[in-house]
Structure 1
Amino acid sequence: MASKELKAFYQSKADKLTITLSSVSKKINVVSNIRLGVALLFLLALYFGLTYHALLYALPVLLFIFVILVHNHSRLFDEKIHLQNLITVQLNELQGLKGDYSCFDNGKVFIHTHHPYTHDLDIFGDGSLFQFVNRCSTLNGKKLLAYRLANRFETKDKIVLHQQAVVDVSAKTDFRHEMQASGMQVEEQAHDRIQLREWVKQKPFLYGKSFYKGVLTIFPVVTILLLITSFIIDGASRFFWLAVFAQLTFLGFHIKKINAFHEYISKKKNILDKYATLLSKIQNVDFSSVLMKDLQQKAKNADVKVKKLASLVGALNARSNIMTTLFTNGVLMYDLQSVYRLEKWKEENAADLEQWLNTIEEMEFICSLGTLAFNNPHFVFPEINAERKLEAEELSHPLILRDESVSNDVHLDAAQSIMIITGANMAGKSTFLRSLGVNVVLALTGSPVCATRFNCALIDIRSGMRTADSLRDHQSYFYAELNRLKSIVDELQEGKQLLILLDEILKGTNSTDKQAGSIALVKQFIDYPSLVLIATHDLALGDLEHEYPSKIRNFCFEPTIINDQLSFDYKLKRGLAQKMNATFLMKKMGIIPV
């Protein structure tokens, strides 16, 4: 789809959903009014039934109708929330197509200034790659996406499997939107998943012990029989109250364990309902890729079991009503019964719970890349090679709108492994490095990339573009840069294959020292399994092409000055830069005399 067609697609979906939402809202109002009417009729029948007894027969019918209406109102309200979320999904995509991704989580919590490349390449934060790609609604889905953007897949097979899955899911728009909207249903807390894990690891203190099974079966039966007997035999009620006292006393010996148990699992009903809904969305989709079928198999019947867990948690949460639980615990040993059923569920399903939740995360990750592919049909899936080779045709930065971007070609391999890129300020050197780096990150996660052809090695990215000093570590900017370069050299010496992106290295020292150090560093790169791009203002580095013509090539970005106006075409050209713009701009701005 072209950009206009995509906008029309999302707008059309938003319009249709808005009409449906209006219809559901009207139904909610109708049901609310009918429910109010039934409640009034119930009260009137009860009042006049004291005089006209025949009206009392209507009470059970009215009560049944009222319960049905309450259920329908709840169902319609849930449908309304889901439709609102689906509309939000469409509107967010429309906003994203305009180049504004601020409606999506920017992943700033994942910013790590000393990561080998994520800080330099703007992988996290405002205007980041994460914000561009992210369509995850669960916290752990976002964590997985962040991890994959910061750590590539280790094998070509895994990348290819994910490429196939992304193609599969990109065509299933309704499924992706349903996953997103369902995930927006409940806001997660950071501790939700942690507490679920801890709860799963707790050993049962009731289930599996025959004594408790017997007590929980016999005591309630005996107590209920004594309750019935108390209506038949005079004086039998004392035995009923004795049984109630015995049950409450028995409960008292376990109340601390019950409270501790409840602490881990309480308030998890809504989030478990959300997980169950997300798992249910996976069940009935006709996937064609190996990975998606595998995830679907892992999620089989998981929604039913997680829904059952949510129901059991809801039942345990009912103990918060003191008056109700005094009666139910005294007659049915309610709290212990609830804990026993939850422990039984845990014993039967705990081993699978983590896998089910991981399936949701993986699905959200793939759906995010699927949306990226759908929204950018001009992107291509890269070929992954086992050699030391990186080739791109019409490469652009994925976050720059298509009609505003300028594309360039790249070729690096084991023979011609180093590009020295010179050029004036603002000419496009840094953007070019980031364009290549970001697309390599996408390529090695199984995503399509912003190019017309892309051939990428299984290679680790290392960059030095935005080195940060550290007051906490008492580390200056220059020393931090040296540490970064040292870590890169150490990895090369270990035999790692690296894509190295450096922008104006050794900025923290004088020009003579910087030049000598830079030249020595470039020469060292020649002997290691690396592909290197170095952006620099230092034209002396260009002389290295004459010394190592088979390894090093000079490229540049040149400005154009016509009629005293500075302009850039942002096209990568062969050779060494001849024009610089600092003096021109300083004169233009009146900083120095003309």
Structure 2
Amino acid sequence: MEYLILGAIGIILVVFLFYRNKQGNKKKQLGEIQSSWGKPKLDSFDFNRISKYADIVNTEKFHRLSGQTTEDIDFYGLFEFIDRTSSKVGQQYLFKKLIEPTHNTVDPSESLIKLFTGDKQLRESIQIELSKLNNSGAYYITTLLKDKLLEKPRWFNLLILDFVILISLLILSVKFPVLILVLILFLTLNMFLHYWNKNNTFQFLRSFPQLNNLINVSKVLVKKGDEFSDKKIEESISDLKSFQQKVFLINLTIDNGIKSELSFVATYLIELIKAFFLVEVFALYRITKELESKKSSIQNLFNYVGHIDTAISIASLRAGNEKTCLPKFISAKKELILKNLYHPLIEDCVKNNLTITNKSILITGSNMSGKSTFLRSLIINSILAQTIYTCFADEFTSPILKQFSSIRIDDDLFDGKSYYFQEVEIMAKLIAQVESADQNLFVLDEVFKGTNTIERIASAKAILSYLNRNENIVIVATHDIELADMLAQEYDLYHFTETVENKALHFDHTIKSGQLKTRNAIKILELSNYPADVIKEAQEISSSLGAWPQIP
């Protein structure tokens, strides 16, 4: 009796300690969620995995940012700042959302964002649930959305005959012991097939358990209230119920990061039984075949969880120290209104105002004066307006646009292309968009820097006039002052400038209306202590060529 009492006390103690440990972990997790609210992640980012969902799911889309534009705006650095998701599913969903601006003028996430902003307890409970999908294995759920998961070998149907013979031998060997020798032969064969199949099983080592987690998380979220209730999601969960039942046969021995509570001996015996009767082989091919027919249900759950997690991420972004606003969308016309616009990745970035009406914009300015930063600020906020409906400004009013850019171009030495040919190819892609039915935003930093002055100016004028057709909006920065007069009827002129104080250049990085009246290239040489003879000759040649005056 005493042993029973001691045993009962021991069990109670173990259960208590387990409960305390679980509560402690939950409290720690909640503390981390609360401390990270409104702040960027400190995680490392594996974009090869993060981008998989956007690459695999080829749904109809309004626009996808080109490789050139993602390079121009440092898209990956921007994503690292924007991303506040709690799960890998949400992270992949957010990546697809950011790289594919939409034509919708209403944000479908806005009601959820407001809910999560106002209800901290609900939001944190959902974040804890979402964190169950924060294991790196959750990245592999997207692999289950491929058209073909696993190809059956031609001889697969022979395995059914193998199974029938094996069962027959087991029964007959009771009466005819000599058949045990044949039985051992078949068991050896099946053991070989079982471990041969492990190569197939390995590719689903992460995706199957994480899909199971996705289903379970969806089950919890769909019961969180009317805002989360969705009949289509409930149907998708029901549709994948048989997967959860079958995957258990494989998960008994798959190391998915959670150690089995079964003892080593029991685990090994189960593995033998599965090998002898080809349980895992049959289960794997049945599961993959079933999932191929249920991709829509998997994607429904993926989008459902990703949408919720992304809404929390946007709420966290807006709760940060950075000033943000909701964009205002207008009908298609050549118009933009930007108030206190700034670049979110630049600390203490100077804010700028700009109103575009009927004309495009040509910006001149000295080196280092802020032209490129302004261009990036503008296109980044245009993209964010049509993805997460959050802009870093006091006001951002714009028509729905497709964003294209040519700001940062490098010599492609491996392909043997010169800088000029790189520019030609990029510009050709922009020109191809001019006559499309949609309104475009073209953001350019210089046009044809890689060729001689006369042909550069002539080509730039022709191209900028062509890009400006219809209701397209072109924002271009240039050092070629000659373009200002050539494009005066089509482009309004703006500039960035600087002052000299205590023999040093000072930039206010503020865009100003009108034409630039000074240049600073020779002045920078002077401030860098170049010989007086060099400075004098450069100024004389500049004057003889009809250049504008330098900064005094």
Would you call these one fold, judging by a TM-score over 0.5? yes
Aligned to 1:178: 128
State the partner residue of 2:45. 105
**1:279 equivalent in structure 2:** 218
User: Equivalents in 1 of 2:16, 2:165: separation in Å?
Assistant: 39
CA distance, structure 2, for counterparts of residue 70 and residue 141 of structure 1: 36
The separation in 1 between residues aligned to 2:386 and 2:250, in whole angstroms, is: 41
The aligned runs of 1:137-286 (5 Å cut-off) are 141-153=90-102, 155-156=103-104, 160-171=107-118, 173-175=123-125, 177-178=127-128, 181-184=131-134, 186-188=135-137, 193-194=142-143, 252=188, 254-255=190-191, 258-259=194-195, 261-265=197-201, 267-268=205-206, 271-272=210-211, 274-276=213-215, 278-286=217-225
After superposition, the C-alpha distances for 1:507-527 in whole angstroms (9 at most, x for unaligned) are: 112333322222222222333
SS at match of 1:130: helix
Does 2:508 match 1:569?
yes
1:359 is matched by which residue type in structure 2?
A: Y
Match of 1:385 in 2: 330
**For residues 76 and 312 of structure 1, what CA distance do their matches in structure 2 show?**
32
The CA distance in 2 between the partners of 1:199 and 1:250, in whole Å, is 31
Q: Is the 8 A contact 2:363 2:478 kept in 1?
A: yes
Letter in 1 for 2:477: A
After TM superposition, the score normalised by the length of structure 1 is 0.69
Unmatched 5+ stretches in structure 2? 52-63, 536-552
Post-superposition offset of 1:326: 7.3
Q: Tell whether the 8 Å contact from 2:50 to 2:91 is kept in structure 1 after alignment.
A: no
Q: Which residue of 1 aligns with 2:302?
A: 357
Task: Tell me what 2:57 maps to.
Answer: none
Contact 2:150 / 2:288 at 8 angstroms: preserved in 1?
Answer: no
The 1:140/1:323 distance shift into structure 2, 3 A limit, reads: same
Structure 2 counterpart of 1:187, which letter? Answer: S
Q: What does residue 460 of structure 1 align with? A: 402
Please list every run of 5 or more consecutive structure 1 residues that lacks an aligned counterpart in the other structure. 1-53, 227-236
Deviations 1:277-315 (A, max 9, x none): 5435523433648xx857865675689877656644332
Q: Which residue of 2 aligns with 1:233?
A: none
Alignment of 1:249-398 (within 5 A): 252=188, 254-255=190-191, 258-259=194-195, 261-265=197-201, 267-268=205-206, 271-272=210-211, 274-276=213-215, 278-286=217-225, 288=227, 293=230, 297=234, 311-317=248-254, 324=266, 327=269, 336=278, 351=294, 352-375=297-320, 378-388=323-333, 389-398=335-344
Q: Provide closer, same or farther for how the CA distance between residues 382 and 522 of structure 1 changes in structure 2, counting only shifts above 3 A.
A: same
The aligned amino acid for 2:95 is A
| Residue 525 of structure 1 pairs with residue 464 of structure 2 | no
- Which stretch shows the higher mean deviation, 476-485 or 324-333? 324-333
- 1:130 paired with 2:76, answer no
Query: Could you tell me which residue of structure 1 aligns to residue 362 of structure 2?
Result: 420
Between the aligned partners of 2:176 and 2:345, the Cα distance in structure 1 is 73
- Distance in 1 (CA, whole Å) between partners of 2:370 and 2:403 is 20
Secondary structure in 1 matching 2:414: coil
Query: Alpha carbon RMSD of aligned pairs, Å?
Result: 4.7
Letter aligned with residue 582 of structure 1: A
Q: CA deviation at 1:163?
A: 4.0
Q: Tell me if the contact between 1:398 and 1:439 (Cα under 8 Å) persists in the aligned partners.
A: no
For the residues of structure 2 that align with 1:197 and 1:246, how far apart are their CA atoms? 41
Structure 1 residue 464 displacement after superposition: 0.9
Structure 1 residues 393 and 95: alpha-carbon distance in aligned structure 2, compared to 1, 3 A threshold = closer
Report the 3-state secondary structure (helix = DSSP H, G, I; strand = E; otherwise coil) of the residue aligned with 1:156. coil
Q: What CA deviation, in whole Å up to 9, does each residue of 1:497-543 have, x standing for no partner? A: 32011112221123333222222222223334410011112222221
SS at structure 1 position matched to 2:71: coil
Q: Is the 8 A contact 2:126 2:221 kept in 1?
A: no
Match of 1:540 among 465, 482, 498: 482
The alignment status of 1:430 with 2:372, answered yes or no, reads yes
SS of residue paired to 2:69 = coil
- Residues of 1 paired with 2:101 and 2:214: CA distance? 27
**Corresponding position of 2:345:** 399
CA-to-partner distance for each residue in 1:420-441, whole Å, 9 max, x for gaps? 1111122211111111100111
* Counterpart amino acid of residue 45 in structure 2: D
1:306 & 1:383 partners in 2: Cα distance?
45
SS in 2 for 1:499: strand
* Letter of the structure 2 residue corresponding to residue 131 of structure 1: E
For the 8 Å contact 1:427–1:570, the answer to whether it is kept is yes
Contact kept? 1:384, 1:458, Cα under 8 Å: yes
Give the TM-score of the pair, scaled to structure 2.
0.74
For the residues of structure 1 that align with 2:136 and 2:50, how far apart are their CA atoms? Answer: 19
List per-residue Cα deviations over 1:83-138 (Å, max 9, x = no partner).
Answer: 55554445555764xxxx654527488899971411101111xxx21111123465
CA distance in 2, matches of 1:560, 1:238: 101
With over 3 angstroms needed to count, the CA separation of the structure-2 counterparts of 1:590 and 1:494, relative to structure 1, is same
Q: Distance in 1 between matches of 2:531 and 2:244?
A: 72
1:120 alignment counterpart: 72
- Asked if structure 1 preserves the Cα contact closer than 8 Å seen for 2:465 and 2:487, the reply is no
Distance 1:270 1:407 in 2: 48
Q: Which secondary structure state, in structure 1, belongs to the residue aligned with residue 367 of structure 2?
A: coil
- The alignment partner of 1:507 has SS state of coil
Relative distance call for 1:171 and 1:483 in structure 2 (3 A) is farther
Paired residue total: 504
- With over 3 angstroms needed to count, the CA separation of the structure-2 counterparts of 1:113 and 1:337, relative to structure 1, is closer
Structure with more of its chain in helix, by fraction: 1
Choose from 580, 588, 593 the match for 2:519. 580
Change (3 A) 1:300 1:191: closer
Contact 2:33 2:124 in 1 (8 A): no
Deviation digits for residues 448-507 of structure 1 (CA, Å, limit 9, x no counterpart): 111222222221111111012212321111110111111111221455532011112221
**Cα distance in 1 between the residues matched to 2:66 and 2:227:** 40
CA change 1:563–1:323 in 2 (3 A) is: closer
8 Å Cα contact 2:87/2:130 also seen in 1: no
SS in 2 for 1:521: helix
Percentage of matched positions with identical amino acids: 21
Whole-Å Cα distance in 2 between the matches of residues 581 and 336 of structure 1?
78
| 8 Å contact kept, 1:86–1:181 | no
Partner of 1:36: none
Q: Matches of 1:495 and 1:88 in 2, distance apart?
A: 48
| Per-residue Cα deviation, 1:12-44 (whole angstroms, up to 9, x for no partner) | xxxxxxxxxxxxxxxxxxxxxxxxxxxxxxxxx
CA separation of 1:559/1:333 partners in 2, compared to 1, >3 Å: closer, same or farther? Answer: closer
Task: Point out the more displaced range, 521-530 or 298-307.
Answer: 298-307
Return the alpha-carbon distance in structure 1 between the equivalents of residues 199 and 141 of structure 2: 11
Aligned equivalents of 1:379, 1:363: Cα separation in 2: 21
Contact 1:382 1:455 in 2 (8 A): yes
* CA distance in 2 between partners of 1:275 and 1:240 (Å): 50
Q: Is the 8 A contact 1:206 1:343 kept in 2?
A: no
One-letter amino acid matched to 2:369: A
The alpha carbon displacement at 1:75 in A equals 6.1
1:308/1:444 Cα in 2 relative to 1: closer, same or farther (>3 Å)? same
Judging changes above 3 Å, is the alpha-carbon distance between structure 1 residues 341 and 106 closer, same or farther for their aligned structure 2 residues? closer
CA contact (8 A) 1:393 1:409 kept: yes
